[in-house]
Every structure is written in structure tokens, then in C-alpha cells.
Amino acid sequence: MRVRKAVLPAAGFGTRFLPATKAIPKEMMPLVDRPIIQYAVEEASASGIDQIIIVIATGRSAIEDHFDSNASLERWLEDRGDIEMLRTIRRISEFGTVAFVHQREQLGLGHAVLMAKDLVGDEPFAVLLSDDVMLNPNGAPVTRQLIDAHRAHRGSVIAVQRVEPEEVSRYGIVEPLHEEGRLVEIRDLVEKPAVGEAPSDLAVLGRYVLTPKIFDVLEQTPSGAGGEIQLTDAIRELTHEQPVFGYQFEGVRHDAGTRIGWLKANVAVGLDSEVADEFRAYIRGLDLRD
């Protein structure tokens, strides 16, 4: 079955970015000229997905407003003859269907995904954590790579990449059963293991293609690491019932959920944007000696 739908959890508090995130969700922080979440929506759209489901916290409307049309802004741009910006603005509300579901209590990533159960229904779907910004300018979007792997091998597929051994406690870590090329058959997973206790250095990064069976499992998943209902714990259960693969994707991932990662993501996006030449010249001219 074609993967048509994507779930984008965006209901966290964004505590690492306070006070910037006091009134706006972290997904609305910009990378150059677009909010972080728009990169994930564009990636999903470029991967063939036409139904986006964004899980937001109750009482926070900035993301909804962003994907809605804005008639007075459009009229103003039209009156000024700024047709290019008008097109850019209109394109944002034309990414296929964008639906919103509210997560009333922040009970964890697994719980956020569960909120989308009724809108997803009985079909495989993608999950994109938008603060993992995935750039692969010369190849297929990372979500597309996972969808292709899902098509070829069935089962669920999650994006994995090797991380430094001292970083394992920031991620879900997989225990591989068997590796062949980019594909890793997964025996087990653990959410945020202590350094020295991780089964490997292969970390789960924020892209998944999951079978709908995950919803049944999530309904039974107790809270885990950090007292939260973890998606990793549910996927771990899923491995007992269906095959789950890791896919060592092609592309660069920036963790825009941390200050340094957000800065690096801005540099990467800036160096591939309309202002790239001027930005490159500026960086070259910086005196970076201590």
C-alpha cells in the first residue's frame, strides 16, 4: 500500500530554546527564511506524501496559522506586484491536506503519534520529527528513501545513523541482527541507554515509516525513559510481531532542537540559499582565531 500520510509531532515545550519558545513552538523557529517544520512538510511532500497530520499542543495556533492561507497578506503582496513572494506564500497552504490534532497532555513522543491514530487509519504512514533537519540536496529526500525501503522489504523502516559512543544516551539505539548495505535488520531497540550500555552506535534519527500495528502497541505501552510514553518502546514491541528495519540513509542530519545544531542547520541552509554567495564571502572574511 502506498505511503500517503505523514505524522509530524510538534507539541513539545521546546525548553532548550526558552525564552524564544515561550510563545511560539520550537517548530516555528526559522532556518533562514522558513520555519523548521516547513522543511519537514516539504520533505514529506517531495517524498510523495499528500496528507500531513501535525500534532500540536492545545492552545498553540502558530503552526495552524502558518499552513492556513492569509488573505490580507496575499492582497497586500498582490497590490505591490510582489508576485514571486505571493507564489511562495500561496505554496505554503497548498501542500496537499494539512490536518491538525491536539495533544492535550504532553505524555511523550509515542503518545503524540497515538493521537493521529484515527486520521491515519489502517495504512502504513511516515513520522517526521521536524527538529531533525535532513538535507540531501543532490539525492532523494530521506523520507522517500525510507518509503522505498519499506516497499522493497515490507515491515516498518526507521532512519538510523552512527553516532559517537559518548552521544548514545541522547537517542534511541538499535541492536542490529543483520546488516546488508544500508539496511539493518533490527533485533531490539533501547531509548536513551547509558553510555557503555548501548547495544551499538546506530542511533534512531527522526524519520520512520511504520505499519498501523504500531497504534495497537502504543495503546498498551507504559511510560518509559523520562516518564514518557516512548515511540522507541512501542517499536521494540513491534519487532516481536513484525519485521522492523533500520535504514542508513544518505544525507546530512542537523539536530535543530539544540542551540548548536540549530546554528549549524542555519549555516547549511544559508550556504544553499539565495544569499549563499554573500554568506560564503562573509564567513570567509571572519577572523576565527582564538
Residues of this chain that interact with ligand G1P (CB under 6 A) are: 109, 129, 132, 171-172, 191, 203-206, 230-232
Q: Is the Cβ of residue 92 or residue 109 nearer to ligand G1P in the bound state?
A: 109
Q: Is the Cβ of residue 98 or residue 109 nearer to ligand G1P in the bound state?
A: 109
Q: Closest CB to ligand G1P belongs to which residue?
A: 172
Q: Is the Cβ of residue 234 or residue 269 nearer to ligand G1P in the bound state?
A: 234
Closest distance of CB 276 from ligand G1P, Å: 27
C-alpha cell at 230: 516512548
Closest distance of CB 202 from ligand G1P, Å: 10
**Residues found in the chain:** 290
C-alpha cell at 59: 492552545
Q: What is the sign, positive or negative, of the torsion defined by CA atoms of 83, 89, 91, 97?
A: negative
Closest distance of CB 231 from ligand G1P, Å: 6
Closest distance of CB 191 from ligand G1P, Å: 5
Report phi then psi at 137, rounded to 5: -60, -25
Please tell me whether residue 261 adopts helix, strand or coil conformation: helix
Q: Is the Cβ of residue 67 or residue 208 nearer to ligand G1P in the bound state?
A: 208
Alpha helices for 206-275 (secondary structure H): 213-220, 231-238, 259-270
Q: How far is the C-alpha of 226 from the C-alpha of 31, rounded, in Å?
A: 29
Closest distance of CB 22 from ligand G1P, Å: 20
Q: Is the Cβ of residue 92 or residue 189 nearer to ligand G1P in the bound state?
A: 189
Q: Is 122 in contact with 116 (CB distance < 8 Å)? A: no
